[in-house]
Structure 1
Amino acid sequence: MKESLSRRKALKQIGIGALALSIPKLTFASTDQIMKRVIPSSGEKIGVVGLGTWQTFDVGNSSSQRKPLKAVLRALAEGGGTVVDSSPMYGSSESVVGELAEQTDLQERLFFATKVWTSGKQSGIDQMNTSMRRMQASPMDLMQIHNLQDWKTHIKTLYEWKEKGLIRHIGITHYQDGAHNELERIIKTENIDFVQVNCSISNRNAEKTLLPTARDNGAAVLINRPYSGGSLFRRVKDRELPDWTSEFDCKSWGQFFLKYLISNPAVTCVIPGTSKEKHMRDNMGAGLGRLPHSDLRNKMIAHFEAL
């Protein structure tokens, strides 16, 4: 395990391309690779489609429930995806992610993100150390302050940890519109690498000022709740995709919803959750081919709202 983590650390710090000749390549099925976008603060590239783990990876030690999750992680990596987002709030998800990534030899390929979700400096330190151990990630690629809980305390620790190399990027998160103004204020006044926020084709509040603020201040953007908790699929149930979606290489409603988000240049990565390989592969399709331009984005909104 120690050797695996040190290899991962070297890859993250030096770059996968620079070590390609010295470290054996992992073998995966040949598939198209999704587009990648740059993290403004570090210049590193990550896939535009990632994976959230709320509920879906909270399966404890159940071998029958863990098996399909291995396939989900492989599908993510095979398609060029990198980001796996978790939290101590998500039950056993951190441990499941870490153990399955190690078992499938994916640690060097993935970009691990988790959160601190507690109050008090020492409590935060203890929780983050536990999260890093559970996810088997050292350094942690992205440590985020979950739902802004005690953020003024934790951000001081995160600055120190980033300076020491314990974490590589600092982030803040929320999942409700009411927090968007506060997220904007923090982005403008603190050295934030990432903001994770709720946004979807049916809830576009973040597009008004938060996403432009992130773009203008060099913060990468992760999108949570891209399907609005599944309500978008209920809205389009039994309805066919319109023919004009072929103009941006869209093959499913899931891709329709994700391509809408990815086509916003301020968005770095969307992180829908799933426990099914077929859904993961479909999600990855949103990062392939053309994206809708502004006129098509407006057409997408109008079509969805008319359903």
Structure 2
Amino acid sequence: MPVSRRAVIAAAALAPLAGRLVTAAEPLIRRPIPSTGEMLPAIGIGTSRRYEVEPTPDAVAPLKEAVKTFVALGGSVIDTAPSYGTAEDVLGLILAEPGLRQKVFLASKVDTTGRDATLAEFEQSLKRMKVDTLDLVAVHNLIDVTKNLAILRDLKDRKRIRYVGVTVWRDNQLDALEAVMKHETLDFIQVNYAIDNRAAAERVIPLAADRGVAVMTNVPFGRDRLFKAVQGKELPAFARDLGCASWPQVFLKYVLGNPAVTCPIPGMAKAAYVEDNLGAARGKLPDAAQRKQMEMFIDAV
């Protein structure tokens, strides 16, 4: 049976409300986009799966509450894609809330071939989300990457988008991603990276640091794989030393402990998950020795 985040959080016993309020008062850690120096809050929202609901007021209501809580607590980055089912339509309903769009760093993708098709997909994303511009558009899964990057750079020159990038989500794409990074000028990459999936940290993430590329990281919980691994386990001493109140905070602080990571984007479909996850972007982050200790712990469970 799948292990829910709710079950893991309950087992780990979140800190008392008073403690959470003190933590929430601390500012979020922010990281720069190397190509411009613009600062971003260090945790964003990913909309794959979690936001693929029927775009109706009732179905969208808890997601709207999550996004409003996210922004109220200092978050801004929301990542989506045309291929994420109804997610862009759902964001269109959420971002219609007065004043919300201006506070969000909105990222999407293109994943088709041919100039006309790619431009049509981009315009459709704008229409679905009811916006005029996007902050970031990336070539999804390196699809027709050279031609699509050229199209995105033209859109950037025309002020339709602000940043361009590329994405992958499987380890077997990392070699191809590395090759693209060596030959293209990028603002962002998005790559899979978690405490139990560290392949991207071997070459790709260091290369991003060398080339001045921002790094978004997806599936930081391993599609719930990590929750299953720690089910029923108490938080270890190193977690409490870092101020972690839950396992999700442990997993996210590990990712953020890599200074080349700009922003992990966990799925957050409930306001309570937003509050919990953003706790990882406050206070202490693990140093190299602590991160090694965290790796050893997870490798042994």
TM-score of the two chains, using structure 2 as the length reference = 0.90
Coordinate RMSD, CA, aligned: 1.2
Residue 108 of structure 2 contacts residue 137 of structure 2 at CA under 8 Å; is this kept in 1?
yes
- Cross-structure match for 2:86: 92
Secondary structure, counterpart of 1:191 in structure 2: coil
Superimposed CA distance per residue, residues 26-65 of structure 1 (whole angstroms, 9 cap, x where no aligned partner): xxxx843311110011211111100000111111223222
Q: Distance in 2 between matches of 1:98 and 1:266?
A: 31
Instruction: Work out whether residues 33 and 78 of structure 1, in 8 Å CA contact, stay in contact via their aligned partners in 2.
Output: no
Matched, 1:184 2:178: yes
Q: Which residue identity is paired with 2:202?
A: K
Which AA in structure 2 matches 1:81? G
Choose which of 208, 213, 217 in structure 1 pairs with 2:211: 217
Code of the residue aligned with 1:48 in structure 2: it is A
The runs of 5 or more residues in structure 1 that have no matched partner are 1-29
Shift of 1:150: 1.2
- The residue number in structure 1 matching 2:257 is 263
Query: Post-superposition shift, 1:97?
Result: 1.0
Post-superposition offset of 1:136: 2.8
Matches within 5 A, 1:5-154: 31-103=25-97, 105-154=99-148
TM superposition shift of 1:132 = 1.6
TM-superposed CA distance for 1:274, in Å, is: 2.3
- Which runs of at least 4 in structure 1 moved beyond 4 Å after TM superposition? none
Task: Give the whole-Å Cα distance in 1 for the aligned partners of 2:216 and 2:37.
Answer: 16
**1:196-211 paired onto structure 2 within 5 Å:** 196-211=190-205
Give the whole-Å Cα distance in 2 for the aligned partners of 1:245 and 1:300.
9
Distance 2:133 2:81 in 1: 16
Give the SS at the match of 1:118: coil
Helix, strand or coil at the partner of 2:215: strand
Q: After TM superposition, give the deviation of residue 146 of structure 1 in Å.
A: 0.6
Give CA deviations for 1:117-148 in whole Å, capped at 9, x if unaligned.
11211100000011122223332100010111
1:223-242 equivalences under 5 Å are 223-242=217-236
Aligned identity (percent) is 36
Q: How many residues align?
A: 278
Q: More deviation in 129-138 or 151-160?
A: 129-138
Aligned 8 A contact 2:55 2:93 in 1: no
Structure 2: any 5+ residue segments left out of the alignment? Answer: 1-23
CA shift for structure 1 position 294: 0.6
Conserved 8 A contact 1:87-1:115: yes
Contact 1:138 1:167 in 2 (8 A): no
TM (norm. structure 1) is 0.88
What is the aligned partner in structure 2 of residue 301 from structure 1? 295
State the distance in 2 between where 1:243 and 1:227 align.
20
1:157 is aligned to 151
Deviations, residues 70-122 of structure 1 (Å, cap 9, x unaligned): 11101211221111000000111112112212225311110000000112111
2:276 matched residue in structure 1: 282
On the 8 A contact 2:55/2:89 being kept in 1, the answer is: no
What is the CA distance between 1:233 and its match in structure 2? 0.1
Alignment pair present for 1:250 and 2:250: no
- Is contact 1:115-1:146 (8 Å) kept? yes
SS in 1 for 2:103: coil
Q: 8 Å contact 1:77–1:110 — kept in the other structure? A: yes
Which structure has more RCO (C-alpha within 8 Å, separation ≥ 6)?
2
Letter in 2 for 1:185: A
Cα contact 1:112–1:137 (8 A) shared by 2: no
Distance 2:226 2:99 in 1: 34
